[in-house]
Structure formats: C-alpha cells, structure tokens
Structure 1
C-alpha cells in the first residue's frame, strides 16, 4: 500500500492506517479515529465478557453482551471508514472558490459529516450499558481492561460530540445563525446534549470501579 492509496480499516494494517492518519489530509481524521476507538471498546467488552465465568442467572446476559460487542466491533470499523469519506467531502467543499457554490457545498458536507458523527456517538452511547454491567459483574482481574474500554468509549463520545458541534457551527458560515441551525436540524442539535450526558455517565462509572485496582498511594 503506497501513500497515494486510500487507507481504510478493511484494507490496511494498523501500521498503514495510523500512517495515513498521521498525514495532513484529514481522511482518515479524528472522526475516523473515534470510530476505531469504538471498535477497541467493543473488542475489550467482548473479551471481558468471554473471560467472565457465568452464573446460571447471568449466562444469557453475558452471551448477549458478547454477541452485541462483536457486531459493534465490525460496525464501528465501517463507521470509521464512512467518517473518513465524509471528511473528504468536507475538505473538498472548503477548497472551492468563494461563492454560492462553495457555501452550498459546505452546507451539504457539514450536514453529512454531522450525521456520520452523530451515528457513531449514539452507537457509543448504546455500548455503555454493557460495559457498566461488566464493571459490576465481570471478571475482577480484568478491571484494567474495563477501564481502558471506558476510556475508548469516552474518546469516541468526545470526538463525536465535538465533530457534531463543529459541523453544525459550519452551517452558520454561510450567513445562518445557531438558532436557525437548531430549528432546521433538531435531532443533530439534541445529539450534542445526549453526548454530553454520556460523558458524565462514563466518568461516573469509571470512578465507581477505581477502588477495584490496587491503590498506589497507600502508606
């Protein structure tokens, strides 16, 4: 794979994909990176569920969590690639000559980019419950893996929230207003609030299991 070939999560090694991420092209960019972090969170969720010895009343729940996490891992990689495609269109719109065509292209690209980030963020929100369950019922020896999974989810939610906000703000660059954007795209606007709430929940859940790790400040 040379530097001119498009890097995707499907046709690239980790080394190749991160090399493409390091280039100043924006495709893949932070949004695609957030998708990859969601795949990491899903993979760790599946792993912890697999390492957890089920009791009779938790067997079905563990099976559901693992199955859902394995589906999410695949979906997250697809969403990462879709975000990279949206980023290419976004960048191309901003490179157009100033004028009505550029403003229209930026508006269309901003909406599509915001939708891609919103989908990614909502999938991350859906994954919180499974990880929260494992934080209570999962294998205690894997607390570090659960914390890393929470951190990966947080990165996804943070990236999605910031990208949706930025893309919505870009709609105002053509003379619109935030209030007009809110009226025209209420679901995207509401997504930002949902993602903010998810960040608070992830932080609270992570804090609740911190005591399960061996303390480093004990005298």
Structure 2
C-alpha cells in the first residue's frame, strides 16, 4: 500500500484558499461532475489543535474555546456525488455534489459533546452544525479540506482541517488527541461572565 505524507498546514491552507476563493458556496446537483473524475474512496484524518480565539457576534464580542481532536474521515465519490463519514463511532454523515473542478460543500448536524453558549451572546439556538469544504486533486490523489463547527445559522466557531488520499494511507496527523465531539465554549467578553483582555 502506498503512503503519502500530509502537506504542511500552512502550505495546504494556502493552496486550499486559492482553489476555493472563486468557488460558490454550494454545488447544484445539475452542475456536478459527470465525467467520473473523482470516483473512488478517499480516506484520511480530520484534526485541530486546541485553541482559543475571538469573534464578533452582532454588537458583542465572543471568546471561543475549541478543544483539539483527531478522527477518521472517509469520502466516497460516485457519479458526481460525495458521501462523507466523519468518525467511525456514532458517525456524522453527509451527501453532496462535487463540481467538475473537484470542489464540494456540505453541512451536517452535530449532537453530543460539551456545548456551552453564554446567555449574554446574541446566539439564539442551541443547535449546531459542522461545515465541510474541500477540493479533490486526482493528479496527486489527495484532497485538502476544511471543517468548521458552528451554531446553526452562524459562521463563527471552531475550525479544523482534513486530508485524505485515494487508494492509499495517510500519515502525519496528530495521534495523541481525542476523537471529534463537536464541543466548544462561547463566552461573551465583558458580559455577565466577564473576560478581561490584556
């Protein structure tokens, strides 16, 4: 079995940003790839390091704590449709079209884990989703993608990345992190649970 080394996070993120800069958010089913360019099974890892960052929600500012994780991801492509599975235990699944250029966008609901939103923040739902975007590259046999776990109808949240290879094994993802749970903590800066910045 061939083995491919994962691209560095910086190089891969730069490449992905360039590829997706002019892509639509979603791919219409009638606009999907019908040439079977990306057909096959792509297996790899999704991961993120623990981090805390800040984001604006309307007139409020949120501090967002995102726990690190590492988990398996599998993408099966057939007839211009991508069927994705994140984590083998209690899997999160989606099905979405892939464009002739290899781009796809998908959303899937998330349940479980630890999910806290400060009541002072103008986020009016306890539901959450995970968004997947990626670009298949048949020449290299790799796909580089991004994930983001967010409250439903919001764009702020916890970003991650994934890498997968066609008909080969992937190495290089962290192995000392727990599996994906969709967990996050949103606190308002200066709100009821005040957070003081340096």
Give the TM-score taking structure 2 as reference length: 0.27
| Structure with more relative contact order (C-alpha pairs < 8 Å, separation 6 or more) | 2
Give the TM-score taking structure 1 as reference length: 0.25
Structure with greater helix share of residues:
1
Structure with greater strand share of residues:
2
